[in-house]
Amino acid sequence: MEKLTQKVYVWSRNIRLFHWLNVTSILLLIVIGTIILNAKVLGITTEGKILLKVLHVSIGYVFTVNLLYRFFCGFTGKGFERFSKTLAFQQGFIDELKQYQQDKSKQYQGHNPLGKLMVTALFLLMTTQVVSGLVIAGTDIYYPPFGQHFAESIAIDKQDLASIKPYSKTNVDEQAYKAMREFRAPFIQTHVYSFYTLLMFIFIHIAVVIYAERKHHQSLVSAMINGYKYLKKRE
């Protein structure tokens, strides 16, 4: 017989803040990114598209800083903040995965092995989005951290970088601009395909959380609000 007997503190304030800020920023980035991808169909003007890209990049900075802070906590934090306890392929992970396959009723304070695989995949995809997104921001609207470098690379008069504007040919060397666009092309493809893959993994993540909550009743959602999971103890 099983009954709820343990209230276990699992997710620290740092993890919970990261999680919900991450959820919010990703939702906003998905909405704005989707509008940008369909700007022509929606009849959005060039000025409107630039504004959307500025907004997208600005939220992207929040997303980036939040992710970097999570990486910082992953290497310096305590408990389940540490990547050694939350990511797959750490020492002993394969044995842990085999044990889980043999006994799926086993409970975990943090993520089970499949959960660790999911978290690892999400972090890889989010990191890919950050890197590719920052390169695109630098080549598209000349925003930091790479914007000045790319503006200099295409400028005819490198003393007048202020005249380099999105979608403007003023002070732009056409050959250098073409080379820059060729350089950024694979980053755009990576950003788009990574976006769709991330979206798929998010839906899977949500579905698995709902399934696990209905099956095990561990208060998985509320645990990301108050930090506590409820574990069953065998008698």
219 Rama sector, left if φ>0, alpha if ψ -120 to 50, beta otherwise: left
- Comparing C-alpha atoms, which of 94, 70, 95 is closest to residue 12? 70
Output the pLDDT for position 2: 47
Read off the pLDDT of each residue in 91-114 and give the average, rounded to a whole number.
86
Is a pLDDT exceeding 80 seen at residue 197?
yes
CA 56, CA 61: separation in Å to the nearest integer?
A: 9
The pLDDT value given to residue 218: 67
For the chain, the average pLDDT equals 91
pLDDT higher than 80, residue 219: no
Reported as a single tens digit per residue, the pLDDT across 74-94 is 999 999 999 999 999 888 899
Return the pLDDT at 233: 66
More confident residue, 216 or 122: 122
Architecture label for domain 13-187: Up-down Bundle (1.20)
Q: pLDDT above 70 covers what percent of the chain? A: 95
Q: Can you give the residue ranges of every domain in the chain?
A: 13-187
Say what the pLDDT of residue 120 is. Answer: 96
Average pLDDT rounded to a whole number, residues 20-31: 96
Q: pLDDT band at residue 107, thresholds of 50, 70 and 90? A: confident
8 Å CB contact between 231 and 11 = no
| Adjacent-strand bridge partners of 154 | none
Q: CA-based angle 86:89:95, to the nearest 5?
A: 100
pLDDT at 1: 39
